[in-house]
Structure 1
Amino acid sequence: MTRETQLSEYLRARRELVRPADVGLPEGGVRRVAGLRREEVALLAGISADYYLRLEQGRDRNPSAQVLESIARVLLLDEPATRHLLDLAAPAPRRRRRVRREVVPDGTLRLLERVGIPGYIEGRYFDVLAVNRLAQALSPTLRVGRNRLRDLFLDPAEQAMHPDWPEVAPKIVARFREAVGTDRDERAEQLVGELSLASERFRTLWARHDVNLGRPHVTHMLHPQVGELELDMEKLSIAGTDRQMVVLLHAAPDSPSGERLALLASLAASEGPAASAGPAGVPDDDGVARAGTTSGTSGE
């Protein structure tokens, strides 16, 4: 998909989400389009209707930042969404992103086991690259080689463990769009295509073109052994990697969730070392399952 096509889709999707009343226009009369008309966007942005039409049709490759910022104001885009709009209009890089294997730094792997709470490493495309014993005990799908986005939208068992997933889903999709950015490679296109075909919910959310709706800081889970858990979620960027994140889940020790998490840790310890995560996961002596020979993706 070209930058021009992405820009066209983004403008159209965001225009359809703005109601006339949101920008001070009357709602009356028969409207044959969702949201604003192209002519209304052009008028409010101070540009010609023909020029805006060319932008939405992908026929103008060099819109100025001033024009784009005026359109962003009309479309009620926040700062991250405006930045995404400007990125879409920027010249495309001459070299396409290459798909490369993601490698988690050794120090991060050691940290993952020593933190003493459930944790895993999430790659650029939300692949699970490494996971500690407590995280494996927390969720059966937290396994190396699994993809968090795919599991949350396609696995009914995963959805059942997260009763708030319908509210969290828009934020996850928006964060994924931000993570893959505008330079889509084969891996991103394949994952989006698969989920769009298999999940109507994902397809609808992806078509909105939301970017960065905020990150979920609390996750609710229904664990089959210890019951309801309300856990704080921390996502920490790993320096020197292509958007890899350490994801940590924790609760106050004296809270009900903290006590249940401690019980889960005790149960996991009594069961002995974690089982292998399959051919893509190699559990080491430190109790962390990590990516073996499976190829992930990383940009140059």
Structure 2
Amino acid sequence: MTIAELGTFLRSRRERLSPTDVGLPPGGRRRTPGLRREELALISGVSTSWYTFLEQGRDVRPSAQVLEALARALALTGDERDHLMRLGGLAPTTPDPGPETIDAGLVDLVEALDPRPAYVTAASFDVLAVNDAARELFGGMTATTGSPANVASWVFTDPRAREVLVDREEVARGVLARLRAATARHPDDARVAAVVETLRRESAEAAAWWSRQDVREDRSGTKRVRHPRLGEITLAHTVLHPAERPDLTLVVYGRCATAGRA
């Protein structure tokens, strides 16, 4: 992770705000979208020249207080604020766990959860364990070309994902946002970097959306899917991280919330 990435992220968040969003008068015509640098510097209490150096990726090291002020001024979400801190070197990153392996007990747990769909992924979205219910529900997710199977690759490059995921674009954007968060949490993880590079090369959507700098952490929620037997359904899912391996993610789908005809 470099200081240049911090500057790129700050610029992307600045450009999405208008003066009226932060209580400033709209002003005259603007050549570029969003707040001007001097406007952000004003509302965050940072000098314009120093902020400019930061956004340009010069070798300046912001304090936690400065980044907190910028986070407030930019109205960052909690996930974005944490990402900003990591880019600034002020939040702990997760050490590279080495080869992506999984404890046999966790594999047994995933199998025992059947008939509830469940799977375990690494920070790179590589699938490390999956049960039969998940294989049926996400047709082809664990049978993607290449090894290992990868959720992000399936969502972006496998046509079957468009058939299974009712809100496929929303899911894809969320996957990419979580991958960006993973690059900051695991800056030395070669597999995470390789997955991002492959997606940007093989998917026009991923290449275009990556520049948006969206960030999101894992969280529980619901997903609409087209089930091969039940038709279109909405499933609640719970996201868990094993205490000994917080870099791994266990996703468990619960009971059908709604069901309808496909």
1:186 equivalenced with 2:190 (yes/no): yes
Aligned to 1:105: 103
1:174 equivalenced with 2:177 (yes/no): yes
CA drift at 1:129: 0.7
Aligned to 1:11: 10
| Structure 2: gaps (5+ residues) | none
1:150 equivalenced with 2:153 (yes/no): yes
CA drift at 1:75: 1.0
Q: The residue matched to 2:13 in structure 1 has which SS?
A: helix
Q: The residue matched to 1:54 in structure 2 has which SS?
A: helix
Aligned mate of 1:197, from 191, 197, 201: 201
Is the 2:161–2:168 Cα contact (8 Å) retained in structure 1?
no
Amino acid at match of 2:178: R
Amino acid at match of 1:238: P
Residues 106-125 of structure 1 aligned to structure 2 (within 5 Å): 106-116=104-114, 117-125=116-124
Is the 2:62–2:88 Cα contact (8 Å) retained in structure 1?
yes
1:56/1:68 CA distance change after superposition, 3 Å: same
Aligned mate of 1:246, from 237, 245, 250: 250
State the TM-score, normalizing by the size of structure 1.
0.76
Deviates most, 167-176 or 6-15: 167-176
Size of the aligned set, in residue pairs, is: 254
Aligned mate of 1:165, from 165, 168, 171: 168
Q: The residue matched to 1:251 in structure 2 has which SS?
A: strand
Q: Larger relative CO (CA 8 A, sep 6+): 1 or 2?
A: 1
Rg larger for: 1
1:22/1:200 CA distance change after superposition, 3 Å: farther
State the TM-score, normalizing by the size of structure 2.
0.86
Distance 2:68 2:230 in 1: 50
Amino acid at match of 2:39: E
Amino acid at match of 1:165: R
Q: Percent identity?
A: 37
Is the 1:8–1:57 Cα contact (8 Å) retained in structure 2?
yes
Q: The residue matched to 2:211 in structure 1 has which SS?
A: helix
Is the 1:175–1:215 Cα contact (8 Å) retained in structure 2?
no
Give me the CA root mean square deviation.
Answer: 2.6
Q: The residue matched to 1:246 in structure 2 has which SS?
A: strand
| Structure 1: gaps (5+ residues) | 261-300
Is the 1:168–1:216 Cα contact (8 Å) retained in structure 2?
no
Runs of 4 or more, structure 1, over 4 Å off, are: 96-99
1:98/1:121 CA distance change after superposition, 3 Å: closer
Aligned mate of 1:220, from 203, 211, 224: 224
1:158/1:125 CA distance change after superposition, 3 Å: same
CA drift at 1:256: 6.0
Is the 1:171–1:215 Cα contact (8 Å) retained in structure 2?
no
Amino acid at match of 2:179: F
